């Protein structure tokens, strides 16, 4: 149950940050951060907050990015299913099938997380993995807060 709560929290934060970054990029093309820059800032923030040594960061981040990449693909697939307009399916049975596909994608995303967190805990101490999880949430919250602040100020 805790894993599912963690998954839902991370998924919501990821969706919020990605939405805010997309909107921010459209509003501020000159201030646009490349995916490479975003990744570097994310790594620096998480690495500092988790207290990773250079060696630990070199072990942790490849696993972390591999996990996020696999989850991202599934989240995109899920997003496409959810963005269908009402009426694209004609029967209740077809809608039930779509709901089951979405549920299955959620389960698959959670299974990926479980598998990769086990790998991360073998690569670095579990305490630091936990601190990295918290740091990731903090990073996304701060980025969303900055985006909302800039948006209110009209930047």
pLDDT for position 148:
79
Question: Rounded to the nearest 5 degrees, what angle is found at the Cα of 9, between the Cα atoms of 36 and 25?
Answer: 35
- In this structure, is residue 102 part of a structural domain? yes
- In this structure, is residue 141 part of a structural domain? yes
Q: Is the pLDDT of residue 16 over 70?
A: no
Mean predicted confidence (pLDDT) in 98-105: 95
- In this structure, is residue 45 part of a structural domain? no
- 140 phi and psi angles, rounded to 5 deg: -65, -40
**Parent domain of 111:** 73-149
- In this structure, is residue 126 part of a structural domain? yes
Tens digits of per-residue pLDDT, 60-84?
999 999 999 999 999 999 999 988 8
Q: Where are the alpha helices (DSSP H) in 1-155?
A: 2-27, 35-50, 54-82, 92-123, 126-153
* Count of the separate structural domains present in the chain: 1
| Contact (CB, 8 A) for 22 and 148 | no
Q: Is the pLDDT of residue 20 over 60?
A: no
Q: Which residue has the higher pLDDT, 37 or 149?
A: 37
């Amino acid at each position: 149950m805790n894993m599912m709560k963690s998954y839902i929290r991370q998924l919501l934060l990821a969706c919020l940050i990605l939405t805010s970054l997309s909107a921010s990029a459209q509003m501020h093309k000159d201030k646009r951060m490349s995916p490479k820059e975003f990744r570097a800032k994310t790594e620096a923030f998480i690495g500092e907050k988790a207290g990773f040594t250079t060696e630990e960061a070199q072990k942790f981040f490849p696993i972390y990015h591999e996990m996020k990449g696999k989850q991202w693909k599934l989240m995109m697939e899920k997003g496409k299913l959810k963005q269908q307009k009402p009426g694209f399916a004609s029967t209740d049975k077809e809608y039930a099938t779509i709901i089951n596909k979405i549920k299955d994608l959620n389960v698959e995303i959670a299974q990926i997380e479980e598998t990769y967190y086990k790998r991360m805990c073998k690569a670095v101490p579990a305490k630091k993995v936990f601190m990295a999880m918290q740091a990731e949430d903090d990073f996304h919250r701060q980025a969303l807060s900055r985006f909302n602040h800039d948006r209110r100020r009209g930047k």
